[in-house]
Every structure is written in structure tokens, then in C-alpha cells.
């Protein structure tokens, strides 16, 4: 059997089966970040990679590629209520790569960190055969206050389902220029404390079922409520992926959206459904790295 016959979720489940853990691991594989108990508090650990031809095109501005590589990890910290700290960069490029390209790549990384927090403290460089796709992998450490930690598994039946921003159309540029919702997540955990939360990377059609399943719930989605990005269809909003918005669940608060609008008038917040007892809807679409029918650019 080949990995493409299983799909991403089943591959991950197969890989982590039987892995050892320790008392310091509060949250292991399966969430946006691992959570580790440490003397200084709760530490978030995350690694993510962008690959040429999958996450960016070869002719793309390297500053945008660098921004995206770092912002993806910061988005995962935000999804658990945390903030970025130290990051390591692994860069795999061919010997024929332009020095200017690499310098601009790092300028993009530095720009993202200057705006949203965190520092690069080291990493690794390795050569790959000419003609092979470049890869940039970011391993990061974040931090979260214990009372602010949010996982994917805390949702309960009756919770409303909310999403920030707009969905769909990531290939128009959003997937390279997005701002991780660190500030918005900090406000949420201070003022609302979502019951469950994650960032949308593989599309609502993939990620919402994951959150509901980890919370032991089903979901009922109000399709006509989805905040589609301008020019995008409902199908785009469900399945394009790489939105990097926050998807969270919470008790229905009459003042939640009003309070949000006062603090973040330029960022939409929409209630799109509710967690239910039954398995609920099945929604096709979303990105899967190992499904042959998915496109070559996430």
C-alpha cells in the first residue's frame, strides 16, 4: 500500500502509533502544537515546512516565501493561545541557488518576526541535487499561560462555531501575505476563552471535522453564513485551504461579536454553525498532501 492510498490523517495516525511519551508532555501529536511542562511554564513546540512547487512557485518573490514559512508556525502558536519565542531554520537548497534569493528569503522571515514577535536563533543548511525543489523548515518554541491554553479537544455540544476573517481564494496571494492571528487569539483567550481552537490551513472542509472529532462532537454548519472572500464561491471557502484564520468554538455570547468589532474593526468574526451530538454533516473538499487528486500547490 502507498501513502497516497491512505491520506494525510491516516498516515499521521500510523506514524505516531506506539510512540513513547513522558510526564512533561501535556499535549502530544494531533494538535496544532505539542505542549510541554517546563520550569518556566507551558512551552509550545511546532515544526512546519514549505516546499517549492507545493507551497510556493519557483518564480515567487523570496521575501514572500520567507514570510509564509515563519507565519505558518506563528499561526499555530496563536491557535493554542500562545506567543512565539525562539525559532530554528533548516534550509535545503541546491548549489546553484542565488545568494540574493537566500538573503531575500531571510529578509521575509525577519520582517514577519519583527511584526509579530519571535527570533531566529540558529538552524541548519544542506545542499540538494540541482533541479530538486527547495525546502524551508521552521522549528519553533512558543509560550502560553496555563489559563490561556486552548486545544482542539475542548468543544462541547451546543458550542457555537466561529471563524475569523474571510475564507477561500488563497492562491490569489493570501497564502503568502497573511498575518497570523496572534493579537486576535490573545484577546480571545483573555476575554472569551474558547473551548476549542485551531488555525485553518487545510481548508474548513478538512479542519472543522478534525476539531469536532477531537472534541467528541459532530457539527452543523450554516453554509449560507460562511464569510467568503470577494470573488470566491462556497466551494472555494470550504476547500481552497491556506486561509490561516482562527476556527474556534465557544458558548454563545451575545456580546462576543460586538466586543470583537470594537477591538478589531478591520477583521470579521462570523458564527458559522454549532457543535452537535451526532456526527452531523459531511463536507467534501480541503487539502490532503497525500491524495493524488489534490492540486500541486497548497
Domains of the chain in start order, with CATH, are 44-148 (3.30.1330.10), 160-276 (3.90.650.10)
| Predicted confidence band of residue 22 (pLDDT cuts 50, 70, 90) | confident
User: If you average pLDDT over residues 287-297, what whole number do you get?
Assistant: 52
Q: Which residues of 79-111 are buried (b: 16+ CB within 10 A; e: fewer)?
A: bbbbbbbebebebbbeeebeeeebebbbebbbe
Q: Measured between alpha carbons, how far is 69 from 56 in angstroms, rounded to an integer?
A: 10
Q: Find where cell 455570547 sits.
A: 253
pTM of this structure: 0.92
Q: Measured between alpha carbons, how far is 135 from 56 in angstroms, rounded to an integer?
A: 10
Burial of 40 (0-12, 13-18, 19+ CB in 10 A): exposed
Q: Measured between alpha carbons, how far is 112 from 251 in angstroms, rounded to an integer?
A: 33
Segment holding 145, helix H or strand E: none
Which residue spans within the chain are E strands per DSSP? 25-27, 34-38, 41-51, 83-94, 119-128, 135-144, 160-164, 196-199, 218-221, 246-250, 269-276
**Could you tell me the sign of the dihedral formed by the alpha carbons of 144, 199, 21, 217, in that order?**
positive
Q: How far apart are the first and last CA of the chain?
A: 24
Over residues 86-131, the pLDDT tens digits come to: 999 999 999 999 999 999 999 999 999 999 999 999 999 999 999 9
Output the pLDDT for position 297.
Answer: 52
Output the pLDDT for position 1.
Answer: 76
User: If you average pLDDT over residues 259-282, what whole number do you get?
Assistant: 91
Q: Measured between alpha carbons, how far is 260 from 227 in angstroms, rounded to an integer?
A: 16
25 pLDDT exceeds 80?
Answer: yes
Over residues 191-245, the pLDDT tens digits come to: 999 999 999 999 999 999 999 999 999 999 999 999 999 999 999 999 999 999 9
Give the list of residues 6+ apart from residue 1 with CB closer than 8 angstroms, or none: none
**Alpha carbon of 146 to those of 39, 81, 180, 226: distances in Å?**
12, 10, 21, 32
Output the pLDDT for position 280.
Answer: 64
Q: Give the number of other Cβ atoms within 10 Å of residue 146's Cβ.
A: 11
289 pLDDT exceeds 90?
Answer: no
291 pLDDT exceeds 70?
Answer: no
Q: Find where cell 494531533 sits.
A: 30
Over residues 69-87, the pLDDT tens digits come to: 999 999 999 999 999 999 9
17 pLDDT exceeds 90?
Answer: no
290 pLDDT exceeds 60?
Answer: no
| Predicted confidence band of residue 13 (pLDDT cuts 50, 70, 90) | confident
User: If you average pLDDT over residues 165-187, what whole number do you get?
Assistant: 96
| pLDDT > 70 in the chain, percent | 92
Output the pLDDT for position 176.
Answer: 97
Output the pLDDT for position 279.
Answer: 72
**Alpha carbon of 12 to those of 8, 31, 216, 286: distances in Å?**
6, 12, 19, 17
Output the pLDDT for position 91.
Answer: 98
Output the pLDDT for position 14.
Answer: 74
Amino acid at each position: 500500500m502507498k501513502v497516497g492510498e491512505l491520506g494525510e490523517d491516516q498516515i499521521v495516525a500510523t506514524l505516531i502509533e506506539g510512540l513513547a511519551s513522558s510526564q512533561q508532555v501535556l499535549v502530544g501529536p494531533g494538535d496544532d502544537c505539542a505542549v510541554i511542562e517546563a520550569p518556566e511554564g507551558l512551552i509550545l513546540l511546532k515544526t512546519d515546512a514549505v516546499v517549492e512547487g507545493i507551497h510556493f512557485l519557483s518564480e515567487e518573490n523570496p521575501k514572500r516565501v520567507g514570510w509564509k514559512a515563519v507565519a505558518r508556525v506563528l499561526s499555530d502558536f496563536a491557535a493554542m493561545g500562545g506567543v512565539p519565542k525562539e525559532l530554528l531554520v533548516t534550509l535545503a537548497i541546491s548549489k546553484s541557488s542565488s545568494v540574493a534569493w537566500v538573503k531575500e528569503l531571510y529578509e521575509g522571515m525577519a520582517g514577519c518576526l519583527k511584526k509579530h514577535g519571535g527570533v531566529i536563533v540558529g538552524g541548519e543548511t544542506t545542499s540538494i541535487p540541482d533541479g530538486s525543489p527547495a525546502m524551508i523548515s521552521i522549528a519553533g518554541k512558543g509560550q502560553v499561560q496555563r489559563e490561556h491554553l486552548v486545544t482542539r479537544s475542548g468543544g462541547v455540544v451546543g458550542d457555537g462555531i466561529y471563524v475569523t476573517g474571510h475564507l477561500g481564494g488563497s492562491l490569489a496571494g493570501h497564502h503568502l501575505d497573511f498575518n497570523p492571528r496572534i493579537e486576535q487569539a490573545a484577546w480571545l483567550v483573555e476575554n472569551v476563552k474558547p473551548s476549542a481552537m485551531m488555525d485553518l490551513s487545510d481548508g474548513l472542509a478538512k479542519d472543522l471535522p478534525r476539531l469536532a472529532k477531537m472534541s467528541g462532537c459532530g457539527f452543523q454548519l450554516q453554509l449560507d453564513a460562511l464569510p467568503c472572500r470577494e470573488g470566491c464561491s462556497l466551494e472555494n471557502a470550504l476547500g481552497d485551504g491556506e486561509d490561516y484564520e482562527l476556527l474556534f468554538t465557544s458558548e454563545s455570547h451575545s456580546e462576543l461579536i460586538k466586543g470583537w468589532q470594537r477591538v478589531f474593526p478591520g477583521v470579521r468574526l462570523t458564527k458559522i454553525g454549532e457543535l452537535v451530538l451526532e456526527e452531523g454533516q459531511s463536507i467534501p473538499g480541503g487539502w490532503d498532501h497525500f491524495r493524488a487528486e489534490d492540486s500541486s500547490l497548497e
